[in-house]
Structure 1
Amino acid sequence: MRPALLDPLFASVSSLAGVGPKLADTLARLFGREDADDCRVIDVLFHAPYALIDRRKQPGIALAPQGAIVTVTGRVDRHQPPPNSRSNVPYRVYLHDDTGELTLVFFHAKSSWLEKSLPEGETVIVSGKIDWFNGRASMVHPDHMVTEDRAGELPLVEPVYPLTAGLSPKVLRRAIEQSLERLPDLPEWLDAAFTGKQRFPSLKEAFDCLHNPRDEADIDPQSPSRRRLAYDEFLAGQLSLALVRQRIRKVAGRPVQDKGVLREKIAASLPFSLTNSQTLAIADILKDMAGTDRMLRLLQGDVGAGKTLVALMAMAAAVESGGQAVLMAPTEILARQHLATITPLATAAGITVEILTGKMKAAERREALERIASGEAQIILGTHALFQDSVVYQNLLLAVVDEQHRFGVHQRLRLTAKGISPHMLVMTATPIPRTLVLAAFGDMDVSKLTEKPAGRKPVQTVTVPMERIADIISRLKTAIAEGKKAYWICPLVEESDVSDLMSAEERHAVLTRELGPGVGLVHGRMSGLEKDEVMGGFKAGDLRLLVATTVVEVGVDVPDATIMVIEHAERFGLAQLHQLRGRVGRGAEASSCILLYKGPLGDTGHARLSIMRDTEDGFVIAEEDLRLRGEGELLGTRQSGTPGFRFASLEAHGDLLETARRDASYMIDKDPDLLSPRGDALRTLLYFHRRDEAVRFLSAG
């Protein structure tokens, strides 16, 4: 049970004053929560600023630099409302100080409100961005305006937060102030000597410093308060991983003994031989499964490195040993793709394969459940539906979790919590640097697939400016006429006012006009069924060009697609670009990837595109990605490819991660049920960081 002390923080976000259903939805979107019901006050508290506005700069109007945010104390001279019926003309207010004159500009503003806020003849303080035009200074919609007697209300140092459409900084700030008030005095879960050595403040002081910074140093990733919050986050993660591991190790594994008969049959049906790293990975896995300790291994392989085949060999060993194996994929599209890949190979070895997803009809599902319970189904593929309470296995020996770069520990926890204790193999298509493996998986054994399967040709990658888009379309026309298939990736679904990016829907319309009817469209807002239908048409060849958002990034397999165009490539992260490029070059034909970019490129954008051009090695790309991600980007937004940290950055706080791991394993050794005073405080830490699943592993929890 979550301690009652934390209840104020886990109340719905709509319990905050001024947060109605619409704003609750907006906040849920900003914090990456499924919906408003899942969005809590603590999410607001955990929303970290990425920059600071210093309103203490008061250079005087004439000395204010272009584009700078300044504060001006001046006397209001006159108001100039727009002429009647001219709504496109702004309302202007003129004021002056000892150095010069400033025009305040307002669009669609109520004159009565402006007259009250900025009375003629009064001294006022305004703060905002200065613009110079023809030697005259102006400020459009000042951020703050107060009369001189209310100067104390002007915030001099203001944190800047990541925002989303429909949310103003003022509204967010009100919610943050309320969430800070709700933070109770929590028991200290950190070791006193370590806290002193690191100069960490208390938790309350750390949050206060985060949301009420006095200067740039307070929001620096290396400030003691930010490091304290990062350490707490790492410790909660490492502690929950250590608890999972402890629980997994407690339950002895059942040794899997196979003579390799089924594996040989699968190998004989392959049109190619296994790569060296596949052979090594299979040997490691079989060795782990033959012991009495349960296997917990991570299989890292680049896009198209043949992870599924390695997993199939492990599953065949479990079947030959008289058991069953499951492979869980994050989406139905992927589960069905695994079905298409695995079934012919398994059939060649006489293994029966079953699929189980949430969208099956009731009768279909009932029959599948019967085959699973009786043991007739030997390999079962599916989504998280595989681990629901209604699913009973006859003898589950191996579970393979295909995480496709979603670092979810939860599926593994759910499976273990069911009391089933199979060996576990977690596959990921994102090559992960060592620090990230540690952050996401703890001390897991790792196998890496470093080669591409035989017969795969390298993908030729070129960078092309957007100005040459017409050339690309005409080259595409020729390629499609020759029977080739291509992807065209766009960053958005539909056009929006905020962005000048071409949307997927708009691009689809343009390309259909240019290339004719064989152009499909897939994006995240379509239903699973609609997506499957379009993907099916593309696979079958009825469609020759697929316009898509990044939904195709994960695991879609069309071996005869040979061209990948990525529009606004500078807007994508390296890991994402690499995943997208991996959708082509999966057959024997030469493939190409065209990165369309809009100049001028910043340093990071330039570096990203150069790395993509120079290498196809996913492990090199992963390390570079970690190096290149700006602090603001890593800390201010939740990126695919990094565990969802709010405060911690592997770049800035890597030294704390190793300490957190040692601290967690020391506590689990000394106090496995977390019953000591510090252990009890650490339980609160786990709940505080929404690691409830981990607490269930404590025998006294």
Structure 2
Amino acid sequence: MNHPVSEIQGIGPRMMEQLESMGITTVQDLLEHFPFRYEDHAVRPIIEAQHEERITVRGTVHSEPSLGFYGRNKSRLTVRVLVDGLLVQAVFFNQPYLKRQIHLGDVITINGKLDKHRLMISGGTLKTKKDSVQEGLEPVYSVKGEVKINTLRKFIRQAIQQFGNQVEEILPPQLLNTYRLMDRAETIKQLHFPSNPEKLKQAKRRMIYEELLLFQLKMQMFRKIEREAEEGQQKNFTKEAVHEFMEKLPFPLTNAQNRVLKEILTDLGSEYRMNRLLQGDVGSGKTVIAGAALYVNAKAGFQGALMVPTEILAEQHKESLKALLDPFDLRVELLSGSAKVKERREILEGLKIGKIHVLIGTHALIQEGVDFHKLGLVITDEQHRFGVEQRRILRKKGVRPDVLFMTATPIPRTLAITAFGDMDVSIIDEMPKGRKPVDTRWAKPNMLPRIIEFLEKQLTKGHQAYVICPLIEESEKLDVQNAIDVHTQLTQALPHFNIGLMHGRLHADEKEHVMNEFAENRVHLLVSTTVVEVGVNVPNATVMVIYDAERFGLAQLHQLRGRVGRGEAQSYCILLADPKSDVGKERMQIMTDTTDGFELSERDLELRGPGDFFGSKQSGLPNFKVADIVEDYRVLEVARQDSVKLIQAEAFWKGEAYEKLREYLKKQVVLNEEKLD
């Protein structure tokens, strides 16, 4: 299978170059270049077809074909055909030669897109009785340069003839039998040249499972190797100590918090190093869990570090953690970039001799001269905001510390078990009792005067509000409201209130100043771009207005909505949008339907796809050839469970039945550049 493609009959040096530009250098590459769709050439009754579906029909020519020209060398050939008792108009573009092949009374076969309302088939292909009519499914491939689809089809057919008997089965008999999977050689053949729709379905099913299993196996192997290579620092603590912490909490934990805390405590007490992702929606209570972990870590004689993206967030975490840990005489300190020289020196000295139990800070934590006495637990909040290198440096400040990543960005379970397959994932999927959901409304731009009235009422009651805009200044490219104009407009409309302005072009200390003014209620309404998205906690803010809301993704809208609803008063989120697209309308509908971040993230994934969800780099998500992690999430779950069982079984590492699978994984190089840090 590793033969060069030049060994396939008919492929010369020039064609070999063209195939190489498509990433096809070996016979295996060619055989695994699967079609991205299939055209169904099976003749079907029109009544069974959907509007705008591609369909193949057979009928009798009912009128002489009419040929017209338009534009530059463009033609349109129209002919009426009697199909299943219906008179259908068939249209062929830029194929004028077909006029000579069509005669009254001929029986012809047409494949094209059906306009069911106008009974018209367009943009299609024509076969007459003289042509060999291919019935069934025809593969359509992505091609490039001089390589044409028919040429590629021919080479693949030839490759199957020459090398089809060399395709090796890599899945063990046990899995093939359990799931009744087609063998690999037949799968490849059916994916390229399906005998019928059922065979194609079975071939796809087999290849989807194989792709997802191989990826999950790579993830699990990496995890096992990394765990065994690097033992953690076992934390010794008593159940009594944990109970003592819980009793001092001003509120009971939710079931989800209890479950997640148990998972983290098990990790801390084990000999393996913790590598866990903690997901929890805005306001679900992740900070309490972090506090409990830092408390247990300190009770076992270790120090903890919490790294956050902004100084405002660091300050808020300090207040929260001091409230939780002060009763136990545990010292919590904040190392900020703006700390005075004397204060900074005292903190660094206390850290070095072990007098400080928990240190909170931004990337200031990873600077030289910040030395811990005995670092045992590293927590990073909104970890995707830090570079891989920053997180690595912080871990190096301890000796094999346990690592906990926290995020309020709900990552769909489907993506979490794929992209974070080398980590344990804990999810707080329950909100604390008594928390009022944010009342979310979708408003059209002509309702702006009413919205300003509503803002005035809320501000008069002593509450505060956010108004979010997509851009800083006017842009010719995008017809969207911008923060500077909106700030001017609201300052005029609400003269009795102090309106603040914040955007990405302000210096860090200017942003800090504006946010502190807002947090202390000296600024009543804050007009901002999305820089307020992460980590701002102003319980007095009860209104979030988002201009041009259709331009934001669901996850981002949800993050913004999470800035309000943090106090006891009812809060509101107003989505100001006039979406032209169906996707925009659907987003607004979803936002008003649910406040559950995880449900939203799953819907967002369906709308946008996995690539867009994580951004263009995709952070470790491979490009599957047949599988789709959104559509095939059930198979993904099964593949993950199977991979965990396999990695733990001795038979997988030594058994003859798994030899081909082990060889395949070795050739792939376990997790080569596919790991999320």
Question: If the length of structure 1 is used for normalisation, what is the TM-score?
Answer: 0.61
Report the CA distance between 1:664 and its aligned residue. Answer: 3.7
Tell me how far 1:122 sits from its aligned partner: 3.3
Deviations 1:339-363 (A, max 9, x none): 222345667754444479xxxxxxx
Q: Which residue of 1 aligns with 2:490?
A: 515
- Contact 2:18/2:146, CA 8 A, preserved across alignment: no
* Aligned with 2:172 (options 191, 203, 209): 191
What's the counterpart of residue 583 of structure 1?
563
Match of 1:484, as an amino acid? Q
Q: Please say which structure displays the higher CA radius of gyration.
A: 2
Q: Secondary structure at the match of 1:585?
A: coil
From 66, 79, 83, the equivalent of 2:68 is 79
Residue number among 400, 416, 421 corresponding to 2:400 in the alignment: 421
Partner of 2:316: 341
Match of 1:276 among 253, 262, 272: 253
Is the Cα–Cα contact under 8 Å of residues 233 and 376 in structure 2 kept in the other structure?
Answer: yes
How big is the shift at 1:397?
0.9
Q: Which residue pairs with 2:573 in the alignment?
A: 593
2:290 pairs with 1:307: no
* Superposition pairs of residues 58-97 of structure 1, within 5 angstroms: 67-69=52-54, 77-82=66-71, 93-97=76-80
- Give the alignment partner of residue 233 of structure 1, picking from 212, 219, 225: 212
Contact kept? 1:488, 1:546, Cα under 8 Å: yes
Name the Cα RMSD after superposition: 6.8
SS of alignment partner, residue 403 of structure 2: strand
In structure 2, the partner of 1:12 is: none
Give the direction of change, closer, same or farther, for the CA distance of 1:463–1:639 in structure 2 (3 Å limit): same
Structure 2 vs 1, CA of residues 101 and 5 (structure 1 numbering), >3 Å: closer, same or farther? closer
| Distance across 2 between alignment mates of 1:652 and 1:137 | 35
C-alpha offsets along residues 594-648 of structure 1, whole Å, 9 cap, x if unaligned? Answer: 35676999899879947x65765x4xx636875x689x75878664699957425
Out of 678-687 and 564-573, give the one that drifted further: 564-573
Change (3 A) 1:414 1:504: farther
Q: Which residue identity lines up with residue 515 of structure 1 in the other structure? A: L
The alignment partner of 1:692 has SS state of coil
- Say if 2:432 is the partner of 1:452: yes
Asked whether the 8 Å contact 1:93–1:103 carries over to 2, the reply is no
The letter of the residue matching 1:592 is Y
Match of 2:634, SS state, is helix
Q: Distance in 2 between matches of 1:577 and 1:121?
A: 56
C-alpha distance in structure 1 between counterparts of 2:380 and 2:35, whole Å: 32
Residue correspondence of structure 1 range 104-119 to structure 2 within 5 A: 114=94, 117-119=95-97
Q: What's the TM-score, normalizing by structure 2?
A: 0.62
Which residue of structure 2 lines up, in the alignment, with residue 248 of structure 1?
Answer: 227
CA distance in 1, matches of 2:112, 2:474: 32
CA distances 1:520-541 after superposition (whole Å, capped 9, x unpaired) = 586xxx78x7799668645644
- After superposition, residues 244-393 of structure 1 pair within 5 angstroms as 244-245=223-224, 247-248=226-227, 251-256=230-235, 273-277=250-254, 285=264, 288-290=267-269, 292-295=271-274, 299-319=278-298, 321-327=300-306, 334-344=309-319, 349-354=330-335, 379=358
Cα distance in 2 for partners of 1:47, 1:369 equals 59
Distance 1:217 1:341, change over 3 A: farther
Q: Deviations over 1:208-241 (max 9, x none)?
A: 6557767765776xx4423432343145325523
* Residues 139 and 192, structure 2, Cα contact 8 Å, conserved in 1: yes
Deviation at 1:592, TM superposition (A): 0.8
Give the one of 508, 525, 533 matched to 1:544: 525
Give 1:194 shift: 1.9
CA apart distance, 1:186:
7.3
Question: Deviation at 1:302?
Answer: 2.8
Deviation at 1:584, TM superposition (A): 1.4
Aligned match of 1:461 in 439, 446, 450? 439
Partner of 1:399: 378
Shift of 1:301: 3.0
- Partner SS for 1:122: helix
SS in 2 for 1:485: strand
Aligned residues of 1:206 and 1:226 also touching (Cα < 8 A): no
Q: Which residue of structure 2 lines up, in the alignment, with residue 622 of structure 1?
A: 598
The aligned amino acid for 2:223 is V
- Closer/same/farther in 2, CA of residues 345 and 338 from structure 1, 3 Å limit: same
The 1:284/1:191 distance shift into structure 2, 3 A limit, reads: closer
**Which residue in the other structure is 1:486 paired with?**
466
Distance 2:393 2:203 in 1: 36
Shift, 1:45, TM fit: 7.2
Change (3 A) 1:491 1:654: farther
Counterparts of 1:494 and 1:160, CA distance in 2 = 45
CA drift at 1:304 = 1.4
Deviations 1:633-681 (A, max 9, x none): 5878664699957425477553663464245433444168679783573
User: What is the SS of the residue equivalent to 1:200?
Assistant: coil
- Looking at structure 1, the residues matched to 513 and 199 of structure 2 have their Cα atoms a distance apart, in angstroms, of 53
What is the CA–CA distance in structure 2 between the aligned matches of 1:696 and 1:515, rounded to whole Å? Answer: 44
Q: Which residue of 2 aligns with 1:30?
A: none
SS in 2 for 1:273: coil
Choose the corresponding residue for 2:101, options 94, 98, 123.
Answer: 123
Kindly report which structure 2 residues correspond to 1:195-214, keeping only aligned pairs within 5 A, or say none: 195-202=176-183, 206=187
Tell me, in whole angstroms, the C-alpha distance in 2 between the residues paired with 1:434 and 1:657: 10
Q: Which amino acid aligns with 2:96?
A: L
- State the partner residue of 2:645: 665
After superposition, where does 1:146-161 map in structure 2 within 5 Å?
157=137
What are the Cα deviations for residues 26-50 of structure 1, in whole angstroms up to 9, with x where unaligned? xxxxxxxxxxxxxxx99x979995x
Give the Cα separation in 2 of the matches to 1:229 and 1:450. Answer: 33
Give SS of 2:293's match: helix
| Corresponding letter in the other structure for 1:276 | L
- The residue identity in structure 1 corresponding to 2:525 is R
Q: Relative to 1, partners in 2 of residues 1:444 and 1:94: Cα closer, same or farther, differing over 3 Å?
A: closer
Contact kept, 8 Å, 1:461 with 1:595, in 2: the verdict is no
Tell me whether 437-446 or 334-343 shows the greater mean CA deviation: 437-446
In 2, Cα distance between the equivalents of 1:690 and 1:404? 24
Instruction: Tell me by how many angstroms 1:452 deviates.
Output: 3.1
- Name the CA distance, whole Å, in 1 between partners of 2:167 and 2:472: 43
Q: Which residue of 1 aligns with 2:12?
A: none
- Cα distance change on mapping 1:579 and 1:434 into 2, 3 Å: same
Residue 244 of structure 1: how far off its partner (Å): 1.6
How far apart are residue 196 of structure 1 and its match? 3.9
Distance 1:355 1:670, change over 3 A: farther
Q: 1:360 is matched with which residue?
A: none
State the partner residue of 1:563. 543
Cα offset, 1:428, TM superposition:
4.1
For residue 76 of structure 1, report the CA deviation from its aligned partner: 6.2
Identity %: 23
